[in-house]
Structure 1
Amino acid sequence: MKSAIYRGSVFHSRKKPFDHEFKYSLYMAYVNLKEINNILPNSFLWGINKKALISFNRRDYLERPEKKLIDAAKNLVFERIGKKIKGPIYLLAHLRTYGHCFNPVSFYYCFDKSEKNIDAIIAEVTNTPWKQRYCYVLDCQNSEKKNIFKNIKDKKLHVSPFFPMDHEYHFSISKPEKTITIKIDNLNQGVKVHEALLCLNKEDFSKKSLIKALINFPFMTVKVVTAIHWQAIKLWFKGAKLYNNPH
């Protein structure tokens, strides 16, 4: 599979102690980390670790910025679940636009040598305003289905100030094809209190698709940060309880 642009929407639904929902349109890039330097060469639109309208900057993803991102991802998977990734790794994330980048969650799809099966998925969560990161590494090899990967992880990072830490994340992630569907349920003592749903449709990674993305989403990640704070204000006015960041 080649690098691509995915367009669609993200939907959030809070269940407890009251209902609160919102939905936003967005686009995300899906890039082969091994071939990132050759995706769209010699374009004023696209840059690697340099200023451009849309750019990939190593510092925006994972720790250990001195390492290549693909190596950092492979090392992380091996450290967490003892698995050596022998195939390509694709990153699904927001890119830097006009010099700004923020990803609530970035996903790394780690394929096997055949490039047909996914061995692991990294879900890299970043909070705001603290900009702390934590990576959930999902082992996909023993999944019941080869195109949908489910996993349960204890919450390790303070994300929303309106939720405590004693939660579980229930991940359901589809294999990237013509569409991508990612669902994350947030459970507290077995009760679902929140769900997030990402639904995306594939487009080719090209100058045309990048121009289209810039026109439709001129300040993509600024919009993401603004939306997070706007929804937080609405929750505060509704009387949602605040929890301090323990980290």
Structure 2
Amino acid sequence: MRPGGAAVCSGTVYHRRNVPTRNEFTYPVGYVWIDPDHPDRLCREHPLWSATRTAPARFRRSDYGLEATGSLAESVRDDLTPVLQERPTGAVRMLTQVRRFGWLFNPITVYLAWTDDDADPAGAVLEVTNTPWKERLRYPVRLWRRGDWLTATTDKVLHVSPFLDESQRYDIRLRGDDERIEFGIDVVPDGMDEPIVVTGLTTERVPATRSALSRAFVRPFLSTHRVSWGIHWQALKLWWKRVPFVPHPRKREVPA
């Protein structure tokens, strides 16, 4: 899997909960594949897209990373250096959503870093944001090739759902080429082998030409709004199915 140039990535997210009751859904999404320090290489191709001004489709630097300013690529390299035991000096790419008509909620942004641009990425940083708390946490991981997939495992730390606790791990898988990207996370309880939640993202990867950006703008239309609406709708369905509610850790703290 090589870094390549800026691309639009339209596709589908799927999500399946296996226990304590089955709940499954899919919905269309619109992502972009870019150098995080040079979003202009994508946005400059179309007047409705921008990285510097208000626009219907906008990359805004403060929507990403744990700091509102600075180099995103260098922050990814900083996060991965302890994990890889060396600093990745090759390309960095991010797979993410951008603002649509002023709205953005990114459940996950995936950053990939290379030490050799002609080989597989050496590591990934998963930038996870929860809702409604808008807390953000990064998970840096080393990637290992297993057959067709690049894989990693990391402990789940951030409270991302009122229907999942923190005593779990993420099993991560990724593969792609110049035409397609697939990414998935399985949520596995501690001490178990079978996931209770299986998620995945499958997208096309199309060079960011003017015509491709035009298509990506309208299909799927209002994609970031759909993501937010879908999350809350599925939460309501889980509540209706009486899936046990797990409060945010702050709500579980007992005053001294």
Q: TM-score, normalised by structure 1?
A: 0.92
Q: Which moved more, 1:154-163 or 1:30-39?
A: 30-39
- Contact 1:9-1:26 at 8 Å conserved across structures: yes
Which residue in 2 is equivalent to 1:25? 28
| Unmatched 5+ stretches in structure 2 | 251-256
Which residue in 2 is equivalent to 1:143? 145
Q: Structure 1 residue 124 and structure 2 residue 127: aligned?
A: yes
- Give the secondary-structure state (helix, strand or coil) at the position aligned to 2:122: strand
Which residue in 1 is equivalent to 2:51? 48
- Give the secondary-structure state (helix, strand or coil) at the position aligned to 2:119: coil
Which residue in 1 is equivalent to 2:157? 156
Q: Shift of residue 178 of structure 1? A: 1.5
Q: Shift of residue 52 of structure 1? A: 0.8
- Contact 1:182-1:199 at 8 Å conserved across structures: yes
- Contact 1:181-1:199 at 8 Å conserved across structures: yes
Q: In 1, Cα distance between the equivalents of 2:167 and 2:45?
A: 48
Equivalent of 1:61 in 58, 64, 67: 64
Q: Structure 1 residue 104 and structure 2 residue 101: aligned?
A: no
Q: Given the superposition, is the C-alpha separation of residues 8 and 43 from structure 1 closer, same or farther in structure 2, using an over 3 Å criterion? A: closer
Q: In 2, Cα distance between the equivalents of 1:151 and 1:116?
A: 17
- Contact 2:91-2:117 at 8 Å conserved across structures: no
- Give the secondary-structure state (helix, strand or coil) at the position aligned to 1:101: coil
Which residue in 2 is equivalent to 1:245? 248
Query: What percent of counterpart residues are identical?
Result: 25
Q: In 1, Cα distance between the equivalents of 2:10 and 2:46?
A: 21
CA shift digits 1:73-100 (9 cap, x unpaired)? 2222225543312111111000111111
- Contact 2:181-2:202 at 8 Å conserved across structures: yes
Q: In 2, Cα distance between the equivalents of 1:124 and 1:46?
A: 23
- Contact 1:64-1:72 at 8 Å conserved across structures: no
- Give the secondary-structure state (helix, strand or coil) at the position aligned to 1:35: coil
- Contact 2:50-2:57 at 8 Å conserved across structures: yes
- Contact 1:93-1:106 at 8 Å conserved across structures: yes
Q: Shift of residue 144 of structure 1? A: 4.2
Which residue in 2 is equivalent to 1:229? 232
Q: In 1, Cα distance between the equivalents of 2:113 and 2:75?
A: 12
Q: What CA RMSD, in Å, does the superposition of the two structures yield over aligned residues? A: 1.8
CA shift digits 1:11-33 (9 cap, x unpaired)? 10000011110011112100123
- Contact 1:81-1:137 at 8 Å conserved across structures: no
Which residue in 1 is equivalent to 2:78? 75
- Contact 2:169-2:187 at 8 Å conserved across structures: yes
Q: Shift of residue 136 of structure 1? A: 1.3
Which residue in 1 is equivalent to 2:212? 209
- Contact 2:13-2:200 at 8 Å conserved across structures: yes
Q: Shift of residue 231 of structure 1? A: 0.3
Alignment of 1:84-95 (within 5 A): 84-95=87-98
Alignment of 1:159-178 (within 5 A): 159-178=160-179
Q: Shift of residue 211 of structure 1? A: 1.7
Alignment-mate amino acid for residue 225 of structure 1: S
Q: In 2, Cα distance between the equivalents of 1:156 and 1:176?
A: 30
Which residue in 1 is equivalent to 2:17? 14
Q: Given the superposition, is the C-alpha separation of residues 44 and 163 from structure 1 closer, same or farther in structure 2, using an over 3 Å criterion? A: same
